């Protein structure tokens, strides 16, 4: 049987995504919304792209794990942001790595790091390549003899399970589905479901501090990291397995969010969950022009109640309509609880009460309670508004490629901000992006949902949809994104809540972090990576070796 091939220019498998009939229906709907007819750019083929010849020869000793193959180089040129897909559709693969490595074990990783440090070759760790911030793009500036993308896909096993402490030692290159497949027979789950779950890896999640399944409490992956094993050009670091420790700054936290600039994460002991058996969910409606503001108050009450729902997603009216969960006039609040241990009736009842106090309406048939169902991808109920939203959520990455081919500007940005500033923040961001859309695209929408919430504030996630100009989409999006990022900075948010910094967010990150912290980070990089070969350009400016 032939293995399914992944697209080198976009999301998912070559044979995945919408069927030709669905493509036709979607383009017709887009043409009606933005004016048409819309023509689709044909996806690129490997044989029509001319790549710069590799600047580095493969040393004999490393030949079994290194590739010059154009298909490999193309597939490791970009991540999966809108900018990435547009450049691929333009057949521009200028930053392609000279080489791609597929290490089979830690010995290979160490040998590759030794060689690269010696030969001044930049090494870009590559998990699933789902970065949306330029994190895996070999754009490292001058000062390097070449670039190497290190794909960790062969480090894909669960090595050890500690059932008593409910933890597992897991190799970093494992993809989400393969990880859950290996945990399922033990009745365990990591329950980390970023939208990119299908094509992203444990190491990538840790290196970017990814945000997953839990909307409250355990919002980022590092909450589940018990210990890490990291290979650096100066040796191996391994933290001790502990449920908690007050012994100085936490070494795990130095590498969570290090984006491949400090070392290659090869293994992690991860805290696991028993698979949930009980679920309760509700979808509340907040109609009218004040619906989103009322929903926001409901979420704040919930986030501060100590109930800690696993799902707590507020969709504004536009977002709810786009996903089919609403009709364009109502904001929708999705609440979900899950447990392996106890029924959740009391939790959902109190959560619904809080949401109703803030003006929420509960449709017939809600809340939904279930017991004994197996663990799923974890977005709550599969029917009604929650079901519609969940299915749109899972299909969105596939749809985005189609929108890019139709020259529709389609991208997201995300942040977090304290509750006391949220209303002014949201209004300011929408105004800045709205003006940019009118000026650059003539039309377009910006919608908002909360992906994660905290007792002291939400993590709002904005989606932009606008008619692009064929050949100008990249420049249009870059200007819209700059307007959004400037507004976020001005209004006191963070440049990223969970998408990470990469290369794209660096100018804003440089201003957001304290100076002394930046100096400490530079010193840490020098100590661990003296030749400056590890992912130059993410988090810090490239610092080629002395
Ligand atoms: C459609 C879509 C949906 C998304 N949804 C979410 C979401 O819900 N939540 C979220 O947080 N993010 C999301 N993202 C962003 C992205 O999926 C995350 O940043 C994810 O954690 C990246 O994992 P990866 O394995 O693909 O890493 P990659 O993209 O391969 O790498 C990301 C960064 O980590 C570094 N890296 C990778 N592996 C290692 C390693 N083993 N050791 C050291 N460094 C390493 C890379 O060098 C790079 O800097 C989404 C992206 C897309 C395209």
pLDDT at 325: 85
Q: Is 207 in the pocket of ligand 1 (CB under 6 A)?
A: yes
Q: Tell whether ligand 1 has an atom less than 6 A from the beta carbon of residue 196.
A: yes
Q: Which of 11, 170, 196 to mutate to test the pocket of ligand 1 (most atoms within 8 A of CB)?
A: 196
Which of the residue ranges 44-58, 212-226, 371-385, 500-514 would you say has the lowest mean pLDDT?
A: 371-385
Tokens at residue 140, please?
Answer: 């490292």
Contact 505 CB / ligand 1 (< 6 Å): no
pLDDT-based confidence at 85, cuts 50/70/90? very high
Q: What is the predicted pLDDT for the residue at 1?
A: 54
Whole-number percent of the chain with pLDDT over 70: 97
Q: What spacing in Å lies between the alpha carbon of 192 and ligand 1's midpoint?
A: 13
Query: Span 258-280, mean pLDDT?
Result: 97
Phi, psi dihedrals of residue 343, rounded to the nearest 5°: -65, 155
Tell me whether the omega of the peptide bond preceding residue 37 falls within 30 degrees of 0, making it cis. yes
Atom of ligand 1 nearest to the CA of 127: 30
C-alpha–C-alpha distance, residues 117 and 113, integer Å: 6
Number of H helices, E strands in the chain: 15, 18
Task: Write down the pLDDT at residue 266.
Answer: 98
Is it the case that residue 372 has pLDDT exceeding 70? no
Name residues whose C-beta falls within 8 Å of residue 36's C-beta, 6 or more positions apart in sequence: 27, 28, 30
**In what helix (H) or strand (E) does residue 411 lie, and over which residues does it extend?**
strand 408-414
Closest atom, ligand 1, to C-alpha of 155: 41
Residue 334 pLDDT > 90? yes
Per-residue pLDDT for 401 more than 80?
yes
Q: What is the pLDDT of residues 305-324, one digit of tens each?
A: 999 999 999 999 999 998 88
Closest CA to 399 of 119, 9, 17: 17
Answer yes or no: is the C-beta of 260 below 6 A from any ligand 1 atom. yes
Contact 312, 380 (CB under 8 A): no
d(CA 311, CA 218): 11
- What is this structure's pTM? 0.96
Kindly state if the Cβ of 134 falls inside 6 Å of ligand 1.
Answer: no
Name the one residue in this structure whose structure tokens are 């400490």. Answer: 520
- Give the chain's mean pLDDT: 94
- What pLDDT is attached to residue 17? 83
Quote the CA–CA distance of 381 and 379 in Å, as a whole number.
7
State the number of CA atoms in the 13 A half-sphere of 74 facing the CB: 22
Name which of 97, 102, 85 is nearest 138 in CA terms. 97
Pocket flag, ligand 1, residue 460 (CB < 6 Å) = no
Instruction: Give the residue, by CA position, lying nearest to ligand 1 atom 37.
Output: 204
Q: Could you tell which of 177, 210, 223, 311 is best to mutate to test the pocket of ligand 1, judged by most ligand atoms within 8 Å of the CB?
A: 210
Residue 206 CA: nearest ligand 1 atom is: 21
User: Does ligand 1 come within 6 angstroms of the Cβ of 500?
Assistant: yes
* Cα 461 to ligand 1 centroid, rounded to whole Å: 17
> How does residue 352 score in pLDDT terms, banded at 50, 70 and 90?
very high
- pLDDT-derived band at 376, boundaries 50, 70, 90: very low
Residue 391 pLDDT:
78
Give 374's pLDDT tier (boundaries 50, 70, 90).
very low
Q: What's the gap in Å between 145 CA and the centre of ligand 1? A: 26
Distance 327 CA to ligand 1 centre (A): 33
Q: Which residue has the higher pLDDT, 168 or 3?
A: 168
- Mean of pLDDT values over 470-497: 97
pLDDT, position 382: 65
pLDDT over threshold 70, residue 380: no
For residue 373, the model assigns a pLDDT of 47
* CA-nearest residue, atom 22 of ligand 1: 204
**201 C-beta closer than 6 A to ligand 1:** yes
| pLDDT tens-digit series, residues 402-411 | 999 999 999 9
Is the beta carbon of 498 within 6 A of some atom in ligand 1?
yes
Q: Is the CB of 124 under 6 A from ligand 1?
A: yes
Check if 149 has its Cβ closer than 6 Å to any atom of ligand 1: no
Q: pLDDT value at position 377?
A: 40
List own/partner pairs for 12-20 with CB under 8 A and 24 or more apart.
Answer: 12/198, 12/199, 12/397, 12/398, 12/401, 16/398, 17/398, 17/399, 17/401, 17/402, 18/398, 18/399, 18/402
Q: What is the pLDDT of residues 281-313, one digit of tens each?
A: 999 999 999 999 999 999 999 999 999 999 999
Note the pLDDT tens digit of each residue in 446-469.
999 999 999 999 999 999 999 999
538 lines ligand 1 (CB under 6 A): yes
Q: What is the pLDDT of residue 378?
A: 43
- Which ligand 1 atom sits closest to the C-alpha of 498? 11
Q: Is the C-beta atom of 318 inside 6 A of ligand 1?
A: no
């Amino acid at each position: 049987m032939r293995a399914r091939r992944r697209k080198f220019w976009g999301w998912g498998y070559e044979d995945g995504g919408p069927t030709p009939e669905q493509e036709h229906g979607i383009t017709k709907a887009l043409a009606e919304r933005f004016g048409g007819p819309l023509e689709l750019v044909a996806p690129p083929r490997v044989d029509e792209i001319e790549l710069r010849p590799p600047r580095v020869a493969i040393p004999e000793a490393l030949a079994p794990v290194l590739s010059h193959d154009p298909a490999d180089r193309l597939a490791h040129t970009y991540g999966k942001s809108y900018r990435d897909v547009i450049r691929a559709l333009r057949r521009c693969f200028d930053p392609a790595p000279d080489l791609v490595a597929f290490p089979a074990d830690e010995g290979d990783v160490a040998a590759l790091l030794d060689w690269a440090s010696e030969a001044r070759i930049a090494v870009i760790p590559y998990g699933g390549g789902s970065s949306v911030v330029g994190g895996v793009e070999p754009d490292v500036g001058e000062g390097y003899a070449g670039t190497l993308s290190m794909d960790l896909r062969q480090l894909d096993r669960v090595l050890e399970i500690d059932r008593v402490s409910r933890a597992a030692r897991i190799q970093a290159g494992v993809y989400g589905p393969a990880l859950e497949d290996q945990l399922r027979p033990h009745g365990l789950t990591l329950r980390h479901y970023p939208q990119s779950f299908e094509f992203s890896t444990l190491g990538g999640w840790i290196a970017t501090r990814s945000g997953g399944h839990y909307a409250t409490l355990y919002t980022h992956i590092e909450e589940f990291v018990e210990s890490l094993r990291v290979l650096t050009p100066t040796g191996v670091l391994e933290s001790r397995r502990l449920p908690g420790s007050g012994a100085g700054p936490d070494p795990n936290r130095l590498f969570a969010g290090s984006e491949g600039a400090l070392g290659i994460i090869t293994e992690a002991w991860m805290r696991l969950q028993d698979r949930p058996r009980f679920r309760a969910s509700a979808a509340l409606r907040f109609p009218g022009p004040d619906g989103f503001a009322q929903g926001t108050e409901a979420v704040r009450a919930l986030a501060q109640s100590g109930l800690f729902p696993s799902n707590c997603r507020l969709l504004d009216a536009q977002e709810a309509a786009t996903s089919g969960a609403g009709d364009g006039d109502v904001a929708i609040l999705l609440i979900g609880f899950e447990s392996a241990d106890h029924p959740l009736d009391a939790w959902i009842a109190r959560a619904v009460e809080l949401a109703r106090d803030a003006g929420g309406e509960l449709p017939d048939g809600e809340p939904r309670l279930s017991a004994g169902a197996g663990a799923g991808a974890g977005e709550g109920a599969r029917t009604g508004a929650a079901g519609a939203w969940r299915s749109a959520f899972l299909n969105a990455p596939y749809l985005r490629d189609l929108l890019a081919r139709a020259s529709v500007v389609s991208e997201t940005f995300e942040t977090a901000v304290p509750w006391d500033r949220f209303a002014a923040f949201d209004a300011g961001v929408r105004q800045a992006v709205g003006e940019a859309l009118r000026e650059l695209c003539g039309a377009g929408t910006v919608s908002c949902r909360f992906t994660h919430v905290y007792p002291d504030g939400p993590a709002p996630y904005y989606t932009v949809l606008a008619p692009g100009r064929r050949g100008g989409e990249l420049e249009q999006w870059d200007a819209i994104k700059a307007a959004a990022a400037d507004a976020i900075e001005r209004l006191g948010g963070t440049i990223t809540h969970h998408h990470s910094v990469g290369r794209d967010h660096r100018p804003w990150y440089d201003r957001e972090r304290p100076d002394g912290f930046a100096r400490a980070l530079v010193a840490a990089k020098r100590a661990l990576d003296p030749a400056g070969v590890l992912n130059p350009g993410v988090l810090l400016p490239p610092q080629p070796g002395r």
